[in-house]
Structure 1
Amino acid sequence: MSTYIHFTEEQKQQAASVDLEVFLRCHGEKLLASGREKRLASDHSVTVRGNEWYDHAEGRGGHAVSFVQRFYNLSYKAALYAMELLKLEFSDDEQVVCISENDACGVDAIQALLGCSIGKGNLLFHLRGKQAFSFYNRRTGNSVRLVLKPRPEGMSREESFAYLQGKEPKELFEVKPAVITLPEPARLFDSYVCDCCGETTGANWIRLAGDKKLCLDCYPNYNRFEV
């Protein structure tokens, strides 16, 4: 039986109104002009326009939420499972934190459903090439790490997709304790102008070279053990 997770009308509208053209471009997807719509370069049968999408090959479409569910199914289910386990809601600020152990496109579903993003400082990466995600609820202090269970071997891409679609989140993921300490909230840093290139740089990325403040691109690397 599917687990029911309550979304407020505001949360539903916020998720459904995501501009798919902006969303896809921000995540490296090339879009091709197709009349008043945009066609995915990676799948010419799929077109998007604003917050709507349509798969002409399958004759089905919808809004942003169903798009994320259809094309980013794995992390969509991880996000739903985390919402159930930790009583999470869409994060307006940094109340919800996700640390992903992969940088695959599926991470986008976590951004859409939970409001985790690099810009807000609550989507972080601990890259280990694993389909594993740690979720944290700052309000309660609770956390969980979800690790994808091994799938049956020898499945085609279509069979693998059908397998993921047909499983409940608890059937797909192993629940483990989060082992990474919850990072502190994002800091605000002063900025300085690099004395070499003249570009404004955050203080945490500035290095001192004598009496000059240099950005990382202008600061000469020093490691006498690299020979």
Structure 2
Amino acid sequence: MIKKFEDVTKFHGHECPGSAIGYKAAKIAAEKLNINPSEDEEIVAIVENDSCAVDSIQVVLSCTFGKGNLIFNDYGKGVYTIINRKENKAIRLSMKESFNPMKINPEFGSLKEKERNSSINNEEKKLLSKVTSEICNYIINMPDDEIFSIEEVKIDIPEKANIYKSIVCDKCGELTSEHRLKKYGKERVCIPCYESLKNK
């Protein structure tokens, strides 16, 4: 059963167009791949941004960093690839250039700017909340192909997450996952210590 947008808002902390976009993407993926929230690593999400949308994918598909089935590629792109391991199927959703949530209600941009500048009054706060809800509802109910280009893709399915030993860094003494340690001379050090030693 697909979770409600209210569940996303509770997790994310507030309603916003970004979380509505992510909710829409996750819902499309769940329907097209015929999947339920991932108990373990049955579903993998590869996201190409670190926006509010990713929180929705975590909630709806249960893909998380902790389980190793949420992979972040820092490309700054509105692209989400969702993989069904069991069926060896994947779909890629890419936001269309023609889709612009700011055009749904032009008031949103100016009100958000006032909020950021701490110059928004109480009446404007109420209006912003109303406008935000309207935009989110509009996005969630839009035809899928007006927001995303959607295609089934062939992809090398990522390996399941490994569990590594934690080893003490020879420099700072803090526990570090074994596969993230680097060699510096005869020492095995964590990445921050390695960068510090290298730049001396």
Q: Same fold (TM over 0.5)?
A: yes
Residue 80 of structure 1 contacts residue 169 of structure 1 at CA under 8 Å; is this kept in 2? no
The counterpart of 1:212, out of the listed 187, 190, 195, is: 187
**Secondary structure in 1 aligned to 2:71?**
strand
After superposition, the C-alpha distances for 1:172-205 in whole angstroms (9 at most, x for unaligned) are: 2211244653221111111211111111111111
1:94 Cα deviation (Å)? 0.7
What is the CA distance between 1:169 and its match in structure 2? 2.5
1:151 matched to 2:151? The reply is no
Going from structure 1 to structure 2, the CA distance change for 1:120 and 1:148 (only over 3 Å counts) comes to: same
Q: Does 1:111 pair with 2:54?
A: no
Q: Quick check: 1:89 aligned with 2:36?
A: yes
More helix by proportion, 1 or 2?
Answer: 2
Q: Which residue is equivalent to 2:139? A: 164
**Cα separation, partners in 2 of 1:190 and 1:199, compared to 1, 3 Å:** same
- CA shift, 1:213, in A, is 1.5
- Name the % identity: 34
Provide closer, same or farther for how the CA distance between residues 165 and 17 of structure 1 changes in structure 2, counting only shifts above 3 A: closer
Cα drift, residue 160 of structure 1: 5.8
- Measure, in 1, the Cα distance between the counterparts of 2:175 and 2:102: 52
Greater per-residue strand proportion? 1
Partner of 1:78: helix, strand, or coil?
helix
RMSD: 3.2
Q: Number of matched residues?
A: 169
Q: Which residue of 2 aligns with 1:221?
A: 198
Deviations along 1:86-140, one digit per CA (max 9) or x if unpaired, are 1111001111011111111121111111101111111111222221100001111
* Alignment pair present for 1:188 and 2:163: yes
Structure 1 stretches of 4+ with a deviation exceeding 6 A read 15-19
Inter-partner Cα distance in structure 1 for 2:20 and 2:183: 46
CA distance in 1, matches of 2:26, 2:56: 7
Unaligned runs of 5+ in 2: 109-130
Tell me if the contact between 1:194 and 1:215 (Cα under 8 Å) persists in the aligned partners: yes
TM-score by length of 2: 0.71
Question: Relative contact order, CA 8 A, sep 6+: which one is greater?
Answer: 2
CA distance in 1 between counterparts of 2:7 and 2:99 reads: 33
Distance 1:19 1:187 in 2: 31
1:29-108 correspondence runs (5 A) = 72-108=19-55
